């Protein structure tokens, strides 16, 4: 039995974080491909096609699948007989691996972790600390599960304690129906049942790293109560009709993974954590023979998809000529190709703009008749204009929408997922429009960006306002100038009844 070196642990974690930033797991590629093949809604099918094409591009170019390269989730199982030369705490070792993984020059990953959740929320700059959990287990090796969890899906995590006679499937289905599309479906549901509050959530997170085998389970049928529950939830969630990106469709969830643990007789704790279309994780074992090695998935796993066919059906929209007549002609679900000037701006930029408006100060950017993109891109490398630049969840900007539209004359917003009632009311009031890009297709979207320069709030880092020049950037109309939303009409059209529930 060899000595497991601290340097090998650090190198393995760093390499794992790089690896999962641009390689989807092979089982995810296969499962998503199957879902794309059977999807009946053209809009949802096109969204899944973009996700698969983006995945293949990232694998070939070794660039991030999503601009939200996530918080580093590291679960370590330490064998009680393992021999190590560790001189630092496991948290420090894993943080160093995270730091090196996220700051690699050839493929820098976006640092999203803030060190003070209550106050200034200053970015750590290197995505540390990682989210570490540890188990002591039998054996003489160290097993490590490394995952990168984005904020959009993590923010949809839910927990409840049911009565012992409660129905887990009912609660999960009812909860997923309230999540909207901010978790970027189709994805995977991780469910933890039992233990206590923290144990149930830990089980749910661990379940997300289990192999996807729903197609096999559907073929052979369930062999125990857990598998019966998985099948019931899978069928009922997909029957909701939410579909890819919330556009409506036959597939909302690709798989349902459940882990359980004994619990108090008076309790039935249930944790629910969804994984998005940028599912990223890998497992490795250290036994003293050196650092871990990772084998890329075969490019043969990907289907042949031509996105040009969908583009031929799209309407081109000039962002430098957003007049009322053009905007009024847009319809929910319509595919557009954007060209022209597009500004970026997320939570921090919106808050700062509103603060300036409150003080009567002029904004550093004239947004009248313009479009803004809710995005925080990855840093560019080599000859790139910009790094992967997919949309962020738009509901976070809802509370700013009426003020920004009314006081600046902004006409178009681009993001991902649905808008809430307050934002939809503001969009209709100001005769604006809301468009969506595909979450989980960040590298593909970035190829439509031909120029980028910071124009305001550079101190905010990835949340600064940039002026972009885009050509044929693919989007869909989500909310038109009358306040009609595809995220309401789409799922309603594709919803179906099930034997277990509506």
Q: Give the sheet arrangement for strand 71-79, strand by strand.
A: 131-137, 71-79, 142-149, 281-286
For residue 96, give the 3-state DSSP assignment. helix
CA atoms within a 13 Å half-sphere pointing along the CA-CB vector of 440: 33
Residues 6+ apart with CB under 8 A from 197: 159, 161, 269, 271
- Assign 3-class secondary structure to 165-177: CCCHHHHHHHHHH
Residue with tokens 């949802």: 44
- Distance CA(345)–CA(119), nearest Å, equals 21
140 token code pair: 């003489």
Which H or E element spans position 209?
A: none
If you count them, how many residues does the chain have?
502
- Distance CA(286)–CA(7), nearest Å, equals 12
Nearest of 334, 156, 177 to residue 246 by alpha carbon: 177
Q: Checking DSSP bridges between strand 158-162 and strand 412-415, what pairing results, if any?
A: unpaired
Residue with tokens 């052979």: 220
Residue 350 annotated to the active site? yes
For residue 472, give the 3-state DSSP assignment. strand
Strands (E), 405-489: 412-415, 433-436, 449-456, 465-479
438 token code pair: 């595909």
Residues 6+ apart with CB under 8 A from 133: 74, 75, 76, 202
Question: What torsion, rounded to 10 degrees, do the Cα atoms 465, 468, 473, 475 define?
Answer: 20
Catalytic choice (24, 75, 281, 350): 350
For residue 388, give the 3-state DSSP assignment. coil
**Active-site residues: which are they?**
350
């Amino acid at each position: 039995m060899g000595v497991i070196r601290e340097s090998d642990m650090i190198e393995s974690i760093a390499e794992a974080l790089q690896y999962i930033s641009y390689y989807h797991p092979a089982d995810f590629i296969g499962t998503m491909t199957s879902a794309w093949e059977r999807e009946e809604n053209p809009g949802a099918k096109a969204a899944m096609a973009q996700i698969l094409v983006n995945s293949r591009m990232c694998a070939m170019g070794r660039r991030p699948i999503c601009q939200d390269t996530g918080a580093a989730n590291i679960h370590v199982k330490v064998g009680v007989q393992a021999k190590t030369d560790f001189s630092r705490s496991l948290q420090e070792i894993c943080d160093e691996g995270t730091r090196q993984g996220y700051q690699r020059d050839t493929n820098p990953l976006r640092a999203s972790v803030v060190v003070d959740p209550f106050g200034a929320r200053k970015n750590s700059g290197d995505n540390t600390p990682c989210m570490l959990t540890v188990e002591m287990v039998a054996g003489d090796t160290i097993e490590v599960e490394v995952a990168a969890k984005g904020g959009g899906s993590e923010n949809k995590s839910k927990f409840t304690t049911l009565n012992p006679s409660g129905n887990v499937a009912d609660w999960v289905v009812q909860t997923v129906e309230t999540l909207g599309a901010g978790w970027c479906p189709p994805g995977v549901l991780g469910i933890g049942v039992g233990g206590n509050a923290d144990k149930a959530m830990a089980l749910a997170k661990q379940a997300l790293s289990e192999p996807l085998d729903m197609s096999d389970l559907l073929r052979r049928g369930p062999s125990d109560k857990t598998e019966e529950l998985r099948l019931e939830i899978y069928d009922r969630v997909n029957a909701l009709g939410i579909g890819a990106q919330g556009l409506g469709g036959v597939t909302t969830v690709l798989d349902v993974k459940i882990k359980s643990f004994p619990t108090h007789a008076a309790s039935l704790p249930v944790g629910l954590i969804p994984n998005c279309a940028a599912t990223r994780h890998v497992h490795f074992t250290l036994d003293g023979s050196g650092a871990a090695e990772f084998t890329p998935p075969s490019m043969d796993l990907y289907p042949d998809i031509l996105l040009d066919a969908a583009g031929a059906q799209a309407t081109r929209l000039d962002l430098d000529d957003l007049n009322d007549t053009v905007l009024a002609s847009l319809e929910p679900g319509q595919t557009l190709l954007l060209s022209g000037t597009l500004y970026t701006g997320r939570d921090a930029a919106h808050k700062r703009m509103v603060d300036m408006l409150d003080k009567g100060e002029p904004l550093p950017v004239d947004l009248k008749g313009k479009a803004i993109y809710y995005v925080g891109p990855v840093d560019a490398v080599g000859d790139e204009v910009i790094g992967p630049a997919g949309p962020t969840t738009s509901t976070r900007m809802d509370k700013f929408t009426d003020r920004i539209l009314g006081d600046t004359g902004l006409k178009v917003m681009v993001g991902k997922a649905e808008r809430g009632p307050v934002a939809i009311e503001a969009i209709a009031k100001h005769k604006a429009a809301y468009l969506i890009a595909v979450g989980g297709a960040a590298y593909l979207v970035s190829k439509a960006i031909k120029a980028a320069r910071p124009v305001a709030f550079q101190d905010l880092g990835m949340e600064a306002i940039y002026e972009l020049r885009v050509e044929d950037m693919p989007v869909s109309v989500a909310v038109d100038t009358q306040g009609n939303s595809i995220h309401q009409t789409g799922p309603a059209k594709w919803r179906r009844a099930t034997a277990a529930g509506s």
